[in-house]
Structure 1
C-alpha cells in the first residue's frame, strides 16, 4: 500500500445534544469523496478520538469503510499510551475493515528513543495492519527524532510517517528516508505545499475537512512541481491556515463545518469557538466557499 496525496483527518460530527451524528458523518464522507481526496483518517486527534466511546469509534469506522467501499484508503487512529493496548486496538480496526493504522507517538508517557523504537516494532511485528508513524510533539509531549525514524522506516509493515512539525530541517532529514515503501506525509497544512514541492508524498490535512477540492488541488500542483501555481494557492489559503490555529484543533475547523451545515460542536473539555472570533470565522467561511468554487472550475491539473 502507498499512502499519497490529499488525505483528510476527519472531524467527527455531533448532534446538538452531544450525541454522535451518523447522518452528518455520511455527508462528511460523501463530501470528501466528491472533493477528490485520496485518503481518510478516522478517529485521529481531529476526530476527537479520546472523547469517543468504543461503540462510537467502531460505528464511525464501520460506516466509513462501508461508504468508501475501497475507493480510497481508510486509516484509523490507533495510537495509545500503552503498547499492548495499541496492538489490540489495531487488531480491532483491522476486523472493522480499516486499510491502515495511523499510530501517534504514545501520549503523555514521554518514552525514550529506544522506547519508541521498541513500541513501534512491537506494533508492526504483530502484522495486524500497515502502520503510519505519527509525530506531533505539541500534543503528545514526545518528539520522535530522526534516529527513531531511521531505525523503523525499513520495517515492511511501516509504510510512512505523518510529520506535524513545521520546520524545514526536519522535513529535509525525513525526505532522505523516503522510498517506494516509505511515504513522507506532512501533517502541517501551512507548510505542506513547500514540503511536497521538496518531495513529500502528500498531506494529512485538517483544512481539507472544509475545503477538500482546494487541498486536493494544492497537493496535485505541488507534487507536479508547479511551484508558482502551488505557491499562489498556498497564499490564497493563508487566512484559512491562520484561522485553523486560532484556538486548539479541532475547535476552529468544527466551527467552519457548523457554518457549512455539518455538526454542532465538541465534547468537553473542548468548547466551541470563542465569540470574539465569530466575525473572522464568517469571513473565512466565505473565502473557503470561493476557493472551493475556483477549484471546481479549475478541474484536474
Structure 2
C-alpha cells in the first residue's frame, strides 16, 4: 500500500493504517525483518547501484518487511537527497511485494521532513529512530511522536533505545496517537517490555530490535514478542532464515547449535569496538561479495585481525546451516 504526493497536517488515514498493520503482522509471522545496508563507494559517495544489488539479495530471501535507511543502513550519515535515493530505490525494488518501512529521526521537525520524503517516495510506514542527544521526560517523548504523526500520512513505529524508554502509561498514550502502530524495543528489559505489551491495545505491533536480536529471541517470545529484526540477514540470510525456522518450530537443539557456534561468537567480536554492530555487518556483506563499500565516519571498518576472525566465523555459520560461501 504505497503513497505518493506531499501531504501534511492531517495524519495517517485509518484505512492506510489498518492495511499496513495487517501486512506487517503477516510479514512478521513469515520472516525476519530486514535492515539493508546503504552502499558507499571507496571515496564515501552513495552507490545506488551497489545498494540495489544488495537489496535484491535481501528481498530474494523473503523478509517480513524491509527497513531502509535505519541504524544498520547508516541513516545518521545520509543527507536528504541521499535518503530520498535510498527510499525510492527500495520502494521500486520491493514493488509492493514486501512492506517498506523507512527510518526517520532527529528532532520532530527534521523527522517530519524525512517522513515527507519517505511518503513521496512511496514508503508504507516509518520507523521513528531515537531523537538526537538529549534526555527527555515522558511527556516530551509522547509529544515528539504527536508532532511527527500530525505531519505525515505514514503509519509510525516508535523505537525505544538509548535515551528513549517508554513507561506503560506513556505507551497507552502513544498507542492512541492516530497513525502510531507499534514499538521496536532495543533495551531488552523484559520486565519493562512485559508491562508495555500488557498496557497496549489489541493489534499494537511489537518487535525485538536488540543488537543481534537472535540472542534474546527466545526470551522476547516468552513475553509475547516473537517478531524481530536481524542484522545477520543483511549478510547471511541463510543463517538468519535457519534460526527463524528453528525458533518457529521450537527446535531447541538447532537454536543452541547456532547460538553457540555462530551468534554468541559474533556478539563477542562485535563488542570489541564501538560501532561494530554496523561495521562488522557491512564487512561480512563484503566478504559475501555484496558491493556495499565501507562505512562512513564516525564508524570505522574492522582491522585485519577482526576481519580474519569474522571470515572464519562466517564460514562456520554457513557450515552450520549447510550453505556455501
Q: TM (normalized to structure 2)?
A: 0.81
Q: CA RMSD in A?
A: 2.3
Distance in 1 separating the partners of 2:280 and 2:154: 32
Q: 1:127 to 1:23 in 2, by over 3 A?
A: closer
Counterpart of 1:213 in structure 2 is: 238
Using the TM superposition, give the Cα deviation of residue 276 of structure 1 relative to its aligned residue in structure 2, in angstroms.
3.4
Counterpart of 1:286 in structure 2 is: 315
Counterpart of 1:255 in structure 2 is: 283
DSSP-derived class of the 1:14 partner: coil
Using the TM superposition, give the Cα deviation of residue 211 of structure 1 relative to its aligned residue in structure 2, in angstroms.
2.0
Unaligned runs of 5+ in 1: 296-301
Distance in 1 separating the partners of 2:181 and 2:249: 22
- In the alignment, is residue 6 of structure 1 matched against residue 35 of structure 2? no
Q: For the Cα contact (< 8 Å) 2:190–2:223, is it kept in 1?
A: no
Q: How many positions carry a matched residue from both structures?
A: 291
Counterpart of 1:269 in structure 2 is: 298
Q: 1:104 to 1:14 in 2, by over 3 A?
A: same
Distance in 2 separating the partners of 1:66 and 1:90: 17
Counterpart of 2:50 in structure 1 is: 24
Q: 1:118 to 1:77 in 2, by over 3 A?
A: same
Q: Deviations over 1:105-131 (max 9, x none)?
A: 312122211001111122223342000
Instruction: Map 1:108-127 onto structure 2 (within 5 A).
Output: 108-127=133-152
Stretch deviating more after TM superposition (33-42 or 95-104): 33-42
Instruction: Map 1:213-232 onto structure 2 (within 5 A).
Output: 213-223=238-248, 225=250, 227=252, 229-232=254-257
Using the TM superposition, give the Cα deviation of residue 220 of structure 1 relative to its aligned residue in structure 2, in angstroms.
4.2
Counterpart of 1:246 in structure 2 is: 272
Counterpart of 1:90 in structure 2 is: 115
Q: Deviations over 1:30-74 (max 9, x none)?
A: 111222211111111211112112221111111110011011111
Distance in 2 separating the partners of 1:27 and 1:279: 25
- In the alignment, is residue 60 of structure 1 matched against residue 80 of structure 2? no
Q: 1:97 to 1:245 in 2, by over 3 A?
A: farther
Instruction: Map 1:123-202 onto structure 2 (within 5 A).
Output: 123-137=148-162, 141-177=163-199, 180-188=202-210, 189=213, 190-202=215-227
Using the TM superposition, give the Cα deviation of residue 146 of structure 1 relative to its aligned residue in structure 2, in angstroms.
3.5
Q: For the Cα contact (< 8 Å) 1:197–1:223, is it kept in 2?
A: no
Q: 1:14 to 1:230 in 2, by over 3 A?
A: same
Counterpart of 1:299 in structure 2 is: none
DSSP-derived class of the 1:134 partner: strand
Unaligned runs of 5+ in 2: 1-19
Distance in 1 separating the partners of 2:247 and 2:89: 32
Q: TM (normalized to structure 1)?
A: 0.87
